[in-house]
Amino acid sequence: MRLLTVDNTRVAYGNLVALDGVSLTVDEGEIVALVGTNGAGKSTLMAAIMGLVPVATGAVTFDGVRVTGRPTHQMAALGIAYVPEGRGTLCELTVRENLLLGAYSRRWDASARADLDMVLSRFPVLSERLGQTAGTLSGGEQQMLVIGRALMSRPRLLLLDEPSLGLAPLIAERIFELIVELAREGVTVLLVEQNAHAALGLAHRGYVLEAGRIVLEGSDLLTHPRVREAYLGDTAPDL
Amino acid sequence: MLLQQLVNGLMLGSTYALVAIGYSLIFGVLRLLHLAHGEVFMVGAFAGLELVVWWHAGPIAALVGGLVGSALIGMLLEFVAFRPIRRRGNSHLAPIVSTIGAGLVIQEVMTKIFGSEQTAFPVHFSQTEYHLAGLTLDATQLFILAISFVAMLALHLFVTRTRYGIAMRATSENLRIAAVLGVNIDQVVLLTFALASGLGGLAGVLVGLNFNAISPYMGVEMGIKGMAVMLIGGLGSIYGAMAGGLILGIAEVLSVAYLSSSLRDGFAFGLMILILLLRPRGLFATGVAVER
Ligand SMILES: Nc1ncnc2c1ncn2[C@@H]1O[C@H](COP(=O)(O)OP(=O)(O)O)[C@@H](O)[C@H]1O
Ligand SMILES: [Mg+2]
């Protein structure tokens, strides 16, 4: 079933056109990777989905509901959780408060407490640090915290913007395994990564964004010569 | 004697703290210097006075009146004077102009209604004095201390234990993230104005009780002090505002007692400048000032 549809969407910052008619879909249960060089517009696409930047033309539809133009705070209640680039840890709040805020739009009842236990059993390192301010966590721990926080909303769609950025390779690896695990449990994921190899490797399908346009899409991008040359560092693609 | 002066300083300082907390809450959430907050404080004092004069309200009812009156004015300002300008976009200065204008309008309206003279604040309090470990406190003083500390404790519990309170702190740290997590920012801003202004109104009534005199201009000096206290406390930090308010109150009382009453403000502000020299971002520096 189609969960997310981005239709011919255009976003501009003043004169700079960041998204130039982008169309993309995500089906329920899929991991979809969106790759592209720095400045291609990947983060802008996520911000547009979340209503954080105004969309000039085009439309975003989630679960059959047109969400373009809706205020950002409604997205969580609709079932979209977003982990931005740079994580978005609330550093001055405690780990526990960060996690509880993930369930903000559903009130803090028994089911939220149960979800808190579920997240803590998934990330045991967080349960030792519940009362600490989140700013004291390491980068990897913070990434787990913000993913845990996103899970607290019981999202139907998880938007992850560069979750491996700035992490040690081993920790990044752990994050990628986690994404696969989550998808297996039924969470739909749209994943933005500069690490195109890892992202395309674990995703069901992928899109390549260049200068605000989708230039390639498909389920076998890892073997696509143009992708191999431009994003995977192959100077001599095998033909 | 020193201990007695310290208690007097705490009493005075707790009202500064209540006002400064308001500046901090609003600055935290909106990065807005609310230059009409002193006037909101003054409106609280008059709202309390009205209840006392017309309904023969006791001190508690006067406090509730001040709190509600100021909270309503604060929310009204947000609706008519600040939100529309914020919606128009990205100037950081336009909203400040709006707060200046709002302050002047409130002052003029209140002067029209109540006159520019000082008015007495005729709440009847028992004249009992309490003696405790060499200290002498009358019922009014005890009442002021108790109310302001209960208010600060309540605020602490609100921002650390409740869903809206935690959302308010989240908004203060990162508005975008708070929105992404589902927090309705407009709601939080309105709540912040209600809370900040309500505490200001509480302080207005407490100051009326303390000095038995209020006037439409009482907000000017209090506004400046409240802002200074927010700065020495650390921009956007409510605990900094609490500590800073108490420090200012104690410094003023001590300088009157041991130096000279004409040096009061000079000494107090000298001390604050010293604190800022040692800790330029205030006692409880938060990330608030540097980000965005
Ligand atoms: N807030 C902004 N204001 C102005 N330009 C921006 C803003 N955010 C991004 N841009 C520009 O939009 C383009 C796309 O940026 P972005 O979406 O962050 O790309 P990516 O995430 O793929 O690196 C870039 O040229 C970037 O400089
Ligand atoms: Mg990006």
pLDDT at B288: 57
Full pLDDT tens readout for chain A, 239 residues: 999 999 999 999 999 999 999 999 999 999 999 999 999 999 999 999 999 999 999 999 999 999 999 999 999 999 999 999 999 999 999 999 999 999 999 888 889 999 999 999 999 999 999 999 999 999 999 999 999 999 999 999 999 999 999 999 999 999 999 999 999 999 999 999 988 999 999 999 999 999 999 999 999 888 888 888 877 776 554 44
Residue B110: inside a domain, yes or no?
Answer: yes
Query: What strands, in cross-sheet order, belong to the sheet with A205-210?
Result: A80-83, A157-161, A188-193, A31-35, A205-210, A213-218
Q: What is the spatial distance between Cα B267 and Cα B251, in angstroms, rounded to a whole number?
A: 7
Residue B115 has pLDDT above 80, yes or no: yes
- The candidate with the shortest Cα–Cα distance to A156, out of A89, A57, A63, A40, is A63
Residue of A nearest to B173 (CA): A90
Asked if residue B253 is part of any domain, the answer here is: no
Q: Would the CB atoms of B181 and A149 count as touching at under 8 Å?
A: yes
The number of distinct structural domains making up chain B is 1
ipTM value, please give it: 0.94
Query: Which of A6, A13, A20, A214 gets mutated to test ligand 1 (max ligand atoms within 8 A of its CB)?
Result: A13
Would residue B286 count as lying in a domain? no
- Does a structural domain hold residue B165? yes
d(CA A52, CA A160): 15
Tens of pLDDT along B214-226?
A: 999 999 999 999 9
Paired with A59 in beta bridges are: A7
Does ligand 1 have an atom closer than 6 angstroms to the CB of A53? Answer: no
Closest-CA residue, ligand 1 atom 1, reads: A13
Asked whether residue B27 is domain-assigned, the answer is yes
- Give backbone dihedrals phi and psi of A133, rounded to 5 degrees, phi first: -70, 145
CA distance B155 to chain A (A): 16
What chain A residue is nearest to B187 in terms of C-alpha separation? A73
For residues A93 and B169, the answer to whether their CB atoms sit within 8 Å is yes
SS3 B179: helix
Q: Count interface pairs A-B at CB distance under 8 A.
A: 70
Burial class (CB in 10 A: 0-12, 13-18, 19+), B102: buried
Binning pLDDT at 50, 70 and 90, where does residue B287 land? Answer: low
* Per-residue pLDDT at A237: 44
Question: Has residue B280 been placed in a domain?
Answer: no
Q: Which ligand is nearest to the CA of A49?
A: 1
Mutate to test the pocket of ligand 1, among A19, A37, A43, A215 (most ligand atoms within 8 A of CB): A43
Domain membership flag for residue B154: yes
pLDDT of residue B290: 45
Helix (H) or strand (E) holding A6: strand A2-13
Q: What range defines the domain where residue B42 resides?
A: 12-124+140-222
Q: Which of A15, A17, A37, A44 to mutate to test the pocket of ligand 1 (most atoms within 8 A of CB)?
A: A44
Whole-model pTM: value is: 0.93
CATH number for A2-34+51-232: choose from 3.40.50.300, 3.90.700.10, 3.40.50.620, 3.40.50.200. 3.40.50.300
- What separation in Å is there between the alpha carbon of A52 and the centre of ligand 1? 13
Token pair belonging to B260: 């000279």
Q: What is the pLDDT of residue A222?
A: 85
Contact A88 B179 (CB under 8 A): no
Please say whether the beta carbons of B232 and B282 come within 8 A. yes
Q: What is the pLDDT of residue B265?
A: 85
Residues of chain B with pLDDT > 90, as a percent, come to: 72
Of A52, A71, A76, the CB nearest to B181: A76
| Partner-chain residue, chosen from B169, B176, B183, that has the shortest CB–CB distance to A104 | B183
Q: Which 3 state secondary structure label does DSSP give A200?
A: helix
Which atom of ligand 1 is nearest to A19's Cα?
14
Contact A91 B176 (CB under 8 A): no
